[in-house]
A and B are shown apart, each in its own frame.
Chain A
Amino acid sequence: MSLSPDEASRFAHLLSSKAEPLAARWAELVAAGLRGRLSSAELRRQTSELQRAFQQAFDAGATDLTSEAAAELRAQLDELSTNRARQGFTATETAISVYAFKEATLEILGSVDDATTLRDYVAFSGFVDRAALFTFDSYVRVRESLIADQAEQLLELSTPVVKLWEGVVAVPLVGTLDSARAQVVMERLLQTLVDTGSPYAIIDITGVPAVDTQVAQHILKTVVAARLMGADCIISGIRPQIAQTIVALGIEFGDIATKASLADALRYVISQNKRAGR
């Protein structure tokens, strides 16, 4: 359901003639919903900007939110929901910022007694609904991109490869090890081995809350890949419960050296180094 050009122009007129009280009432309604988390001056600025955008869109003969004339309005709505999403408001609080426009307009219109005004208002209401839905869409889009960014940052942050000694690098694993993270850890460790020419790597799993068959599989793959490249891996930081789980699950680490603590692993590597005469 879209606005007819007549309805649009009538509303453009209404919005321009009652601009001040409408924006003020709108800001009040939004403020009630947000419980004082944004200053009234800030809200007032936002509502009058939005109102101007609506007015311009109607002036330009926008009958639908997707039309060319409403481009400026869409940009404004997009900006509003982006800000709301970044400031941590809920989806409802964001949508209400637009829906309140309908309520404010109805109050300004006063009592609706003739059928023309009522029909106008229903068409206008549909337009605002679509605007609110658009807001909701961009809100979700912003939140999703935020989540994706954070997941990526987490991936980057949680897998450092540190040099522990001459020819020894260590990966302190922290957090649950899923396939994606295991892949990142494996790639980064192997690349570091090449870059530093370290023949020993220590994988420390002190920070891994649980080791199941899948996690063990990932660690084993990393160790085998490192061996193929000519480096030896030692697994350290195995807590008592984890050792029991590993045995209970029947996971075989084969001839891979496992140590209880990182210190033990380092001592072992240094003694191996001495024996090899390096």
Chain B
Amino acid sequence: MERVPVLKIGDILLVSIQIDMEDQVALQLQEDLADKIVATGTHGVIIDISALDIVDSFVGRTLATIASVSRVLDAETVVVGMRPAVAITLVELGLSLPGIRTALNVELGIAMIGTRDLSGLLDDEDEDEPDQAAVTAP
């Protein structure tokens, strides 16, 4: 069975789906991704589906599950690059994929996760500074 590779880039896991998403592939990806998030401790997952012609209800649900699992593991999932035809089909089917964040392309997806991390870092610094001041003062 074919597998979808999961790549670690900086603090982000990038999954680019280039093959037909059969049910087994989707389930395997769900497991692999959960393992990898725990192993690497990343906080962002980007799933690129720009090569997918067909997204059926099962794949849609799997994507939602992946997003939920990632959220439990403190990683944010962004699905990027959905084709117009796929989006139209999903809408016609009445699947609006609630709970999944989306972006137009990988770049905007990274920016989406990046802003969150950046704001988190800034908050940390705000908290750190008084401590450091307290340590260096005496």
Instruction: Please report A residues at the B interface, Cβ cutoff 8 Å.
Output: 186-187, 190-191, 193-194, 197-199, 221, 224-231, 276-278
Check A197/B105 contact, CB under 8 A, given A187-B84, A190-B88, A225-B91.
Answer: yes
CA gap between A198 and B86 in the complex, in Å: 18
Contacts of A277 in B (CB 8 A): 115, 118
Check A198/B91 contact, CB under 8 A, given A190-B84, A276-B115, A278-B111.
Answer: no
Q: Which of B84, B92, B111, B118 contacts A229 (CB 8 A)?
A: B84
Contacts of A230 in B (CB 8 A): 78-80, 82, 101-104, 108-109
Instruction: Please report B residues at the A interface, Cβ cutoff 8 Å.
Output: 78-80, 82-84, 86-88, 90-92, 96-97, 101-105, 107-109, 111, 115, 118
Is the beta-carbon distance between B96 and A197 smaller than 8 angstroms? no
Q: Kindly provide the distance from the CB of A168 to the nearest chain B CB, expressed in whole angstroms.
A: 13
Q: A224-B91, A226-B87, A276-B115 are in contact. List 14 more A-B contacts (CB 8 A).
A: A190-B88, A193-B104, A194-B84, A194-B104, A221-B91, A221-B92, A224-B96, A225-B87, A228-B90, A228-B96, A229-B82, A229-B102, A230-B103, A278-B111
Q: Kindly provide the distance from the CB of B109 to the nearest chain A CB, expressed in whole angstroms.
A: 8
Contacts of A228 in B (CB 8 A): 82, 86-87, 90-91, 96-97, 102
Q: Kindly provide the distance from the CB of A232 to the nearest chain B CB, expressed in whole angstroms.
A: 10
A-B contact pairs, 21 of them (CB 8 A): A186-B88, A187-B84, A191-B84, A194-B104, A199-B103, A221-B88, A221-B91, A221-B92, A225-B84, A225-B90, A226-B87, A228-B86, A228-B97, A229-B87, A229-B104, A230-B80, A230-B82, A230-B101, A230-B104, A230-B109, A277-B118
